[in-house]
Amino acid sequence: MANYLNFTKAVFNPYNPKVLNEGQFSWFTQDTDRQIGSERANTIDVWMYDNEGNSWYENKYEGYGEFGGMDYYELLAKMNGYSEEDLKKGQEMRQIGIDLAFNKLKTKDKGRKVLFPALVADGRYNWKRHDFTQEAKSDPDQSWYQEPEYDDYEDDYYDESKKPELTWDSLKESLGLNEGRSINKISKDHAQTVLDMAKTAGEWKAAEGDRKSELLEKLRELNKQKAELEKELDDAVAGKDRNLQLSLEEAEDLAYLEIDVKKILEGNGEEK
């Protein structure tokens, strides 16, 4: 497990600024909760709004945070009061937006809360009623299309167009007789846990008092949950051929901030 975790960390970590600058990443729309995809099978119409009602339309999202020619993180920086005058030598506005999104920089907004662009699937969206302090949910599949999973075998059985081939393995699956969960399901739970850890670590850094203690306990629980999922994934992968393991390496979204989390937990919640 450790070997392919190290392999994927730099490639698939959406909380890594380098990945945000070079790799693919995405969100879910805030009005319909649909994946903002970058492939033919999952591309949708998307509108990005700022808190002044300006909008950017995109119908061919490529997975790099740009909508209608406007970069999501650059817009985030501007919405929070930053301008070209705030840039240090060699710095881009986009980096300021990334730092704001992950609590490494404070907003200049009078409300003292970070404002995020709205990402929606409705071109007539009422932006005036939108809460711009709420960030769109991150997509653990990073805009890549994933084949749908059919959990209800009975529905598919009576739909001739979707009726699967009856095999011993599919029968065991439908009756719940398979041992353990599928690698894909474990991987998705693991990816979501890691995203929650990264978000919690960022919130912990900005929190104070009792809230900081609450977030520390939450981080401990998430860290424990992550370890259990990794063991479950190890067991599921065991005995599979090399091709399957390589496929898993390429597909998993393993978003870690392990060094940060380790420092927080070993320091008993005290910032070093």
Q: How far apart are CA 64 and CA 69, in angstroms?
A: 11
Q: CB pairs under 8 A, 24+ apart, for 265-270?
A: 265/216, 265/219, 265/220, 265/223, 269/204, 269/212, 269/213, 269/216
> Any idea what DSSP says for residue 135?
P
- Token couple for 54: 């300006």
What are the start-end ranges of the H helices in 129-208?
Answer: 153-158, 168-174, 183-206
Which sequence spans correspond to the domains of the chain?
Answer: 26-129, 180-266
pTM for this entry: 0.52
Tell me, letter by letter, the H, E, C secondary structure of 29-44.
Answer: CCCCCCECCCCCCCCC
Lookup: tokens for 114: 């970070």
* Structure confidence at residue 160 (pLDDT): 55
Residue whose structure tokens are 């978000």: 199
* End-to-end Cα distance, the chain: 30
Residue range 161-206, pLDDT digits in tens: 555 565 655 555 554 445 556 777 777 787 788 888 888 888 888 8
pLDDT score recorded for residue 20: 47
Residues in a beta bridge with 120: 47
For 179, other C-beta atoms within 10 Å of its C-beta total 7
Question: Which residues, in sequence order, are bridge partners of residue 55?
Answer: 49
pLDDT by position in tens, the chain (length 272): 443 343 333 334 444 444 444 458 899 999 999 999 999 899 999 999 999 999 999 999 999 999 999 999 999 999 999 999 999 888 899 999 999 998 889 999 887 899 999 999 998 999 999 999 999 999 988 888 887 765 555 555 555 555 556 565 555 555 444 555 677 777 778 778 888 888 888 888 888 888 888 888 998 898 888 888 888 877 776 655 444 443 444 344 444 456 677 778 877 655 55
Span 54-66, pLDDT tens digits:
999 999 999 999 9
Query: Tokens 């439908």 sit at which residue?
Result: 174
pLDDT for res 203: 87
Those residues whose C-beta lies under 8 Å from the C-beta of residue 119, and which sit 6 or more positions away, are 27, 28, 29, 30, 36, 46, 47, 48, 67, 72, 136
